[in-house]
Amino acid sequence: MNERAALSSAHRRRRRTAGTLAVAAGLVIAACGPDTPEVDPSTLGTRAERPAVRGDLAYGLVQRQVDFGPRVPGSDGHRAQLAWMVETLTPLADTVFTDTFSHTTKEGVALELTNVHAVFGPQKGRRILLLAHWDTRPTSDQASDPADKAKPVPGANDGASGVAVLLELARLFHEQAPPTAVELLFVDGEDYGPTTDDMFLGARHYARTRVTESPPLFGVLLDMVGDTDLRLPMEGYSLEAAPQVVQRVWGLAQQLGYGTVFVSEVGQRILDDHLPLIDAGVPTIDLIDFDYGPGNAYWHTPLDTPDKVSPRSLEIVGEVVAELVYRNR
């Protein structure tokens, strides 16, 4: 556990041959996956009439979150971010509520964690679930300088980027109601760690408590979507568990002209918040660029700062997800 993600390619090839999983502080890189699905643009319909996503606004929301300081459970930054999200969402969504729960880590630390929910058009049938984690990692375990390893991660990309896109989408959904019900879910405790025993906590809680009584139609997870050179291959578990959702999202991206970002390639399999949902029966995909900086050098380090994030990347991801929602029937 806790190995570096930035394995050399030779190392990676060996792992593939061996068919093993490399656990990298909660994000797993793994062996061969399924083939890339064919996208048939004629099945996607025509462009939705809807407001445009604004990358500059989304970028401002990234900066705002980083300004709170690290959003580590129990910290001042965590408390400030929680209050701000609720305050931001309340005038925008039909229903906003928080769900606080506790978790005791393997090392005996008692955490108080909170998921935030914002629902649009709850009367419109089964909902689309869009989620991102809002907490940040307590330690920079991937930092190359040992002196940095104890520092918390600023989380501009790993945390703030997904939240920023979802909040920008909330602005759109308020301006023009989506045709179907949508739930925005901001999960806590994704990145606590250090091992996967104490990660994905908010998604696990949601899968345990909310899915059986009222399962979403499908889910889309946004994680590390702000990288300046954003490149999103089709994450391996998503392809296995929700190939139709992958096909539709990458097809829409192609139609919108973002084929160089949403690349038609099978990506790594990554342990993330989509897995508890998949296990609970909700087909959920993970939009993630797990190649953050040269050799993934910014991931889980103090280098995960707003200058590594681009407004345009946030805008592209937001546009594709907006198109998915507004074109849903």
Minimal distance, residue 136 CB to Zn ion, in Å: 8
Site for Zn ion in 191-220 (CB under 5 A): 191
Q: Which is nearer to Zn ion, 120 or 290 (CB)?
A: 290
Q: How many residues bind Zn ion (CB under 5 A)?
A: 2
Nearer to Zn ion, 191 or 319 (CB): 191
Binding residue for Zn ion, selected from 158, 188, 227, 235, defined by CB under 5 A: 158
Binding mask 173-192 for Zn ion (x = CB under 5 A): ------------------x-
CB 145 within 8 A of CB 303: no
CA 77 remoteness from chain centre: 20
User: Judged by CB, which is closer to Zn ion: 151, or 174?
Assistant: 151
How far the first Cα of the chain sits from its last, in Å, is 43
What track of x and - describes contact with Zn ion for positions 100 through 129 (by CB under 5 A)?
A: ------------------------------
Q: State the amino acid at position 244 in one-letter form.
A: Q
DSSP assignment letter at 40: -
Q: Which residues of 146-163 are buried (b: 16+ CB within 10 A; e: fewer)?
A: eeeeeebbbbbbbbbbbb
With respect to Zn ion, which residue has the nearer C-beta, 158 or 198?
A: 158
Residue 273 binding Zn ion, by CB under 5 A: no
Q: Does an H or E element contain 298, and which?
A: none
Told to check if 223 binds Zn ion by CB under 5 A, we report no
Contact 177, 120 (CB under 8 A): yes
Task: Specify whether the CB–CB gap between 284 and 219 falls below 8 A.
Answer: yes
> Whose Cβ is closer to Zn ion: residue 114's or residue 157's?
157
The answer for residues whose C-beta is within 8 angstroms of residue 260's C-beta and 6 or more apart is: none
> Residues in the site for Zn ion, rule: CB under 5 A?
158, 191
